[in-house]
Amino acid sequence: MSSKESIIRQPLVTGENITYAKVTDDILLPVENKPNKAWWIGFTIAGLGALLWVVSVGYTFWEGIGVWGLNKTVGWAWDITDFVWWVGIGHAGTLISAVLLIFKQNWRNSINRSAEAMTIFAVICAATYVVAHMGRPWLAYWIFPIPNQFGSLWVNFNSPLVWDAFAISTYFTVSLVFWFCGLLPDIATVRDRATGLKRKIYSILSLGWNGSVKTWQRFEIVALILAGISTPLVLSVHTIVSMDFATSIVPGWHTTIFPPYFVAGAIFSGFAMVQTLLLVLRKVMNFEDYITMFHIEAMNIIILVTGSIVGIAYLTELFIAWYSGSEYELYAFQNRIGGPYAWAYWSMMTCNVISPQLFWFKKIRTSIPISWVLSIVVNIGMWFERFVIIVTSLHRDYLPSSWAMFYPTWVDVGIFVGSVGLFFTLFLLFLRFLPGIAVAEVKMLLKSSSLQHKKKQIEEGLFPADQVEFFKERLDMYDSVTEEEISEIQN
Amino acid sequence: MGSNKKYWKGLEELEQTPAFVEKSKGEFSESIPVENVLNEAGLSTKTPRRDFLKTLGFGLGAVTLASCNRTPIRKAVPYIIKPEEVTPGIPNYYASSFNGRSVLVKTREGRPIALEVNADSTDINQGTDAVTAAAILDLYDMSKLQDPQLDGKKTDWGKLDTTVKKALKKANDAGKEISLVSRTVNSPSTLLAIAKLKEEFETVNHIQVDPVSYSGIIQANKESFDKAVVPTYHLEHANVVVSVAADFLGSWLDGQRHTQDYIKTRDYKSLKDGKMSRHIQFEAGLSLTGTNADVRIAVKPSEEAAVLVSLYNEITGSSQSGALSTNKKAQTAIQLAAKELKLNRGNAVVVAGSNDAQVQILVNAINAELDAYNQIIDLESYSKQYAGDDASFKKFVDDAHAGRIGAAIFVDANPAYTHYKAEEVEKAIKNIEFTVSLSDRKDETASLANAIATSCSFFESWGDASIREGFYTIVQPTINPLFNSRQIEKSLLAWAGDRETSAYDFVRKNWEENILVDSGKSWKEILQSGFFDNTPSESAAPSFSGNVTDAINKATQAAKEIAGDIELHLYEPSVMRDGHHANNAYLQEVPDPVSKVTWDNYAAINPKFAEELGVKEKGKIKIKANGYEADLPVLIQPGQAMGTISVALGYGRTKVGKAGNNVGINAYPFVSEINGNKRFTVKASAEKTAGIYELAQTQTHHTIEGRNIIRETNFQKYLEDPSSESGQFKDEHKTYDLWNKYESPGHKWVMAIDLNACTGCGSCIVACNVENNVPVVGRDEVRRRREMHWIRIDRYYTIEEDDKKYTKEHDIKNVEDFENVSVVHQPMLCQHCDHAPCETVCPVLATVHSSEGLNHMAYNRCFGTRYCANNCPYKVRRFNWFNYWNDSRFDNYLNNEFSQLMLNPDVTARSRGVMEKCSMCIQRIQAGKLEAKMENRKLEDGDIKTACQVACPANAIVFGDLNDPNSEVSKALRNERVYYVLEEINVQPNIGYMTKVRNTFEA
């Protein structure tokens, strides 16, 4: 299959002599071989983090929520901050796999797998907080309307927490199915190249994939259907999470702007996390040819756009607080700006509003180290955003007599740091056992969007000279394409 | 007949193939590899299936058996022979008295579980103070001694009595004094027991000493009227009250009586009649009384005498020297106050907190001039609460040092802690050959004594009290002594040689022979009513015969002694009092009504003065005075007079028990003396010291930030328009609702709270704790802002400077003068909103609305997301962060078998991880409804009262049915002053507040 794709489009796969076999070999390298030192170091650190998480959560379950720093005024703090943060991070995966699929943005093909995996692990981390923050976590199942022997006890469908439970569990299920379906051809590839027990396991996991045309056809249809199902979820999940706050009467929470603002923030943080992971991944796993500068730049642009939306939302909030004429509302925002937690507000503003604006500069958005640092800055900012929303609203609400400060304990910190550890543990295990890039989907790009293919077409003289020049200029930013390679390109 | 049919197992059988024939020879068609399994090779085969199954089977069986352990069953054994008066589930009430106040002891199945006021009493009959409400915890205090002690060892009563009697006899025979040191004793029976002891041993000398004494007043009255008594005050007759440093609503004399009377001219009923008294307070530290004053002027302790001299001059028109020459603000206030006082002659009174007899003589002169002795100050039915004589105790110490005392008996007295020269007292005690202490615990004094005759609490004793002349109350036991203890009277009688008479017979005989004579009342009637009122009829006002000029000169002179850059003001806090009940965790956790500090005392200083000293919140200062020094945490206290430090007494106990030991700093050593009486003000020096100490405050933001949650007006405006500042809508306006309206067809329980009546004393908090099994969480948890109180009292300051009022944080930064504050107390509890924001957000419907307008909490259903608490605009929901019932960190409260006896069985004890909050005493509502139903009648207004309402000495809380238009609460809520806190967010709260009205001068 050879298609003619406009040369104005940048190549999505670079590298010389890229064949299907090479793609398979490159991507399956970490899966089929013993892990390297870098993996072990990363895994040890992440594992220790996960251990910290187990200890902190275990201690909380044993002693009670009192081991956290919460009080009578601030009933949620780090727990729900972390929860929303992780849910937010979990947004990029579905957006990349579903929305970009529907819009036929095939540059997603090299990043969707990891992004989806990240989504699933982030949602797992988020879900742990749903349970852990409960006073009596052993009764967590009460959140679902399951028939029970307690008589006619039912859940409160007015409560956003119930909506939340549905939203998160649906999102998790759909994401997992989507991810797993996408994995099928790749698992089959691993299966076909493996032997012994490994082969057996991958056989079971591949659900009898046989590579027939019918299988591929069904695969495509399932992908489309799932994309269709998950697209509204991208909007709904964080909309509902935002309703945990928006439907309350707490000044600073009770805001109609929350749904779009939260969704934008979620995509913002999700892409930042994808960026954080992939920039390391492509280097360590030698995936530079598959995750190219084009991807990095594209994601940076998304970060810039969503970051700006978030910034506008912040300013709108301030305006509405003043315009509403509600003294409680106004005070809530004055308190954010100048109250005892002003440092958190200004950290949020700096990280989320100012720092992404640097991506207006092409130099910055195509610089790997700066992109990486900024992607982390964004997620720090997004953590502060949730902290600011939750804690600064609660700690000074209606009656000044109850105003209080929140001070985290080691357990609060332990659970957060631990959840990051848990996340990376899961992610590293994923890289070890499943292909980090969708092999089959990258292969689809080879004969349409790869540099090799485009070069061939240029050599065939399919494009006018000015377009070729333009193409060459754009190749400049690729760190995976050398100067010589570019100069070799001749019309 | 059998069937001939033959069934073949297969073609092989039909055809009888050789292979089949061969196979069918054995029992099994295939040989069983028994040998293989049994020999070693069989066991080492790859999959010993049977072994696997065996192990699996055994394992499963073992695990199943192990998990079949039966849950231990604790049987509640019913009465075999049911006592006639005890019905499980129905409380019994017994009339008794505590601190001389007539109370009802509520018992359930033989266990006392609460104290309530005896509303039928003709003396104090409105509410209980915090100490009374909390007293139930003292009964079950594990820190008490469980046996009598001799030389620090457990002993029995026989041995103890023999030893004591021998020692007393020895002292008596040697002609040496036997000192009986007690707190004020006003119980006729105890006094009789002491008299009996005196009959036996003639050298017995009864010395009464109070930790915070009023001997100055006694002395002054002796000199002024020849009546050595503390008067009783009837403040309901006062239109104007001027107090100079007397915390008369709190700890001065009888705060509860004063509150009950004082409120009568200030609450909503009085305002309805257009009447309100005016209260002017001059004081150094911001006291509970000061927070309720209409006008409060901060003066230094050294200026108090001058204030009174000026007042005297203004009222009498004389010009005694020593009038106030500094403090312009105070001078103006004095002029205005004097004018008011003169205008209300006969209905005006001046009180002073000083224990200097000379100051009190001056006060007597003023009051005599104001005709206050007609109906306000009562010297006939005088108070018998404080008869302590500082001079005689001083003599005791001197005598002991000189070896003139042969034996000493301490009756409920703890001078080794409460005396300012505790070391001297200690030495004195050690110098006495034999000492015995009648106390319930090995306290500071008892631990020095040779013997401890463990006394029991009033819950376990027969007895009586007489709080004021002519008024008697009975003490009747409601439970057998929990420990091997004996009541004081019995011990005294035993030593007097009478071991036979029971306490019951003794008390009864005394009453029948001495008290009830000619009254026409029988002992039985007294047991039912709990009190006997034989108040002497009023006589003509006494004539003042003191020497005013001399008193003024001496008082002025004495004031100079304490005048200085820093003056230390020691006070008895209104909740913790003198430290006697320091082991009561309920009291320790009740926030101070003004500072909202729990579990500590502190040095209260003015914000500007703190700047001068260079200390901030959480800082510490070292105070030196009177040859004693102590490091105290600083409390920044607006309203505190500049250059003064206020420190509470009653803290820093070392031998009171688990909860109270080493809580705060002992300030008694700062007490000095003046003319033989204790003096609670002293010149001091103070400096910043190193160290950080965070006080456990339940409220850390102290102003309303300009919000309309507190609505206040002044009396003048109120007279013009009763709804002034209440924000009540005069015209119709349309409102919109997202939610359906809750119908309350039967009852609708609501509450009305009068901000003008609430003094902020905090007794409702304790009563609620006791009623609803609210856990005590301790200092650390309060620091983390996790106190569990269902009802709290919010206290807000308004800083006043140059006639401007400041309530916003950023305006207050620029204020220079923090001496002028006005204060308001707002009881805050679940508002039982009709559109409760907590109800909509609970995912599992654990908090729901009742058809009677209540917001219910189903603990069993709650799994603790805390969303309801976040969404509660009043922040009244409390979360069980830990399992307070079974956690060694909360040992000072209900973590032992004794204190768990005081749980109210009608209220669930909450487990960890669930939310709780005020239920409006749902158990009382249900009980009231049931009772009415059983009696086949309609529920009447007043049948059901909440615990906080019953406990309120100011009658500030009215609870009832809004659907009954004639109920007290309906009437109260129709009041023009009523507003609802945060009504603008349309949560439709069900507790109406009545505006605070101040009777200020400007009006």
**Binary contact (B863, A327; C-beta < 8 A):** no
Q: Where on the phi/psi map is residue B50: left (φ > 0), alpha (ψ -120 to 50), or beta?
A: alpha
What pairing do the DSSP bridges indicate for beta strands B792-801 and B821-828?
antiparallel
Å from A390 to nearest chain B CA? 10
pLDDT by residue (tens digit) across B316-332?
A: 988 888 888 888 888 98
Highest mean pLDDT among A97-111, A139-153, B53-67 belongs to: B53-67
Answer whether A146 touches B (CB < 8 Å). Answer: no
pLDDT by residue (tens digit) across B441-489?
A: 999 999 999 999 999 999 999 999 999 888 999 999 999 999 999 999 9
Q: Which part of chain A has CATH 1.20.1630.10?
A: 25-445
Tell which wins on pLDDT, B1001 or B111: B111
Q: What is the pLDDT of residue B321?
A: 86
What the block records as the tokens of B177 is 């004094």
Q: What mean pLDDT comes out for the span A375-383?
A: 93
Residues 6+ apart with CB under 8 A from B676: B215, B390, B391, B394
Cβ neighbours of B874 in A, within 8 Å: 398-399, 402
**Binary contact (B870, A76; C-beta < 8 A):** yes
Q: What is the pLDDT of residue B33?
A: 66
Q: What is the pLDDT of residue B1003?
A: 38
- The rounded distance, in Å, linking the Cα atoms of B660 and B652 is 8
Q: How many CA atoms lie within 13 A of B412 on its CB side?
A: 23
Q: What mean pLDDT comes out for the span B655-682?
A: 90
Cβ neighbours of B877 in A, within 8 Å: 72
Task: Decide if pLDDT at B6 tops 90.
Answer: no
What pairing do the DSSP bridges indicate for beta strands B991-994 and B749-754?
parallel
Tell which wins on pLDDT, A463 or B839: B839
**Binary contact (B864, A72; C-beta < 8 A):** no
pLDDT by residue (tens digit) across B479-515?
A: 999 999 999 999 999 999 888 889 999 999 999 998 8
Residue A287 per-residue DSSP state: -
- The rounded distance, in Å, linking the Cα atoms of B295 and B274 is 19
Answer whether B877 touches A (CB < 8 Å). Answer: yes
- The rounded distance, in Å, linking the Cα atoms of B893 and B891 is 5
**Binary contact (A133, B982; C-beta < 8 A):** no
Do B873 and B828 form a contact (C-beta atoms < 8 A)? no
Å from B130 to nearest chain A CA? 22
Q: What mean pLDDT comes out for the span B521-534?
A: 90
Answer whether B933 touches A (CB < 8 Å). Answer: no
Answer whether B705 touches A (CB < 8 Å). Answer: yes
Q: What mean pLDDT comes out for the span B177-193?
A: 92
Answer whether A155 touches B (CB < 8 Å). Answer: yes
Note which residues in 797-826 of chain B have CB less than 8 A from chain A: 826
**Percentage of residues in chain B having pLDDT higher than 70:** 97
Could you tell me how far CA B172 lies from the centroid of its own chain? Answer: 42
Q: What is the pLDDT of residue B40?
A: 58
Q: What is the pLDDT of residue A454?
A: 83
Task: DSSP for B176-199, please give it.
Answer: -EEEEEES----HHHHHHHHHHHH
Residue of A nearest to B842 (CA): A159
Residues 6+ apart with CB under 8 A from B142: B657, B658, B896, B898, B899
Task: Decide if pLDDT at B348 tops 50.
Answer: yes
What pairing do the DSSP bridges indicate for beta strands B451-452 and B991-994?
unpaired
Answer whether A327 touches B (CB < 8 Å). Answer: yes
pLDDT band at B815 (very low <50, low <70, confident <90, very high): confident
Task: DSSP for B523-586, please give it.
Answer: HHHHHHH-EEE-PPPP-PPPPP---HHHHHHHHHHHHHHH-SSSEEEEE--TTTTTSTTTT-HH
Cβ neighbours of A158 in B, within 8 Å: 840-841
pLDDT band at B907 (very low <50, low <70, confident <90, very high): very high
Q: What mean pLDDT comes out for the span A289-297?
A: 87
Residue of A nearest to B917 (CA): A72
What mean pLDDT is reported for chain A?
89
**Binary contact (B844, A160; C-beta < 8 A):** no
Total-model pTM = 0.89
- B875 closest CB neighbour out of A70, A161, A402: A402
What pairing do the DSSP bridges indicate for beta strands B278-283 and B240-244?
parallel
CATH number of A25-445: 1.20.1630.10
Q: What is the pLDDT of residue B35?
A: 66
What mean pLDDT is reported for chain B?
89
Cβ neighbours of B862 in A, within 8 Å: 135-136
Q: What mean pLDDT comes out for the span A216-228?
A: 89
**Binary contact (A156, B707; C-beta < 8 A):** no
Q: What is the pLDDT of residue B935?
A: 94
Q: How many CA atoms lie within 13 A of A56 on its CB side?
A: 26
Candidate from A84-88, A150-154, A456-460, B673-677 with smallest mean pLDDT: A150-154
- B843 closest CB neighbour out of A64, A162, A399: A162
pLDDT band at A112 (very low <50, low <70, confident <90, very high): confident
Cβ neighbours of A153 in B, within 8 Å: 844-845, 861
Answer whether A69 touches B (CB < 8 Å). Answer: yes
Residues 6+ apart with CB under 8 A from B54: none
Q: What is the pLDDT of residue A450?
A: 82
Task: DSSP for B280-341, please give it.
Answer: EEEESS--HHHHH-SEEEE--GGGHHHHHHHHHHHHH----S----S-HHHHHHHHHHHHHH
| Residue from A401, A407, A409, A411 to probe the interface with B (highest B Cβ count within 10 Å) | A401
- B914 closest CB neighbour out of A72, A136, A398: A136
Task: Decide if pLDDT at B880 tops 90.
Answer: yes
**Binary contact (A137, B863; C-beta < 8 A):** yes
pLDDT band at A93 (very low <50, low <70, confident <90, very high): confident
Q: What is the pLDDT of residue A149?
A: 74
Residue of B nearest to A247 (CA): B841
**Binary contact (B912, A249; C-beta < 8 A):** no
**Percentage of residues in chain B having pLDDT higher than 90:** 62
> Which neighbouring-strand residues pair with B634?
B603
What the block records as the tokens of B433 is 């050959």
Which of helix, strand or coil describes residue A217? helix
Count of A-B CB contacts under 8 Å: 163
pLDDT band at A1 (very low <50, low <70, confident <90, very high): very low
- The rounded distance, in Å, linking the Cα atoms of B830 and B826 is 13
**Binary contact (B912, A143; C-beta < 8 A):** no
Q: What mean pLDDT comes out for the span A311-317?
A: 93
pLDDT by residue (tens digit) across B267-276?
A: 998 998 999 9
Q: Any idea of the CA torsion for B287, B288, B291, B296, to the nearest 10 degrees?
A: -40
pLDDT band at A423 (very low <50, low <70, confident <90, very high): very high
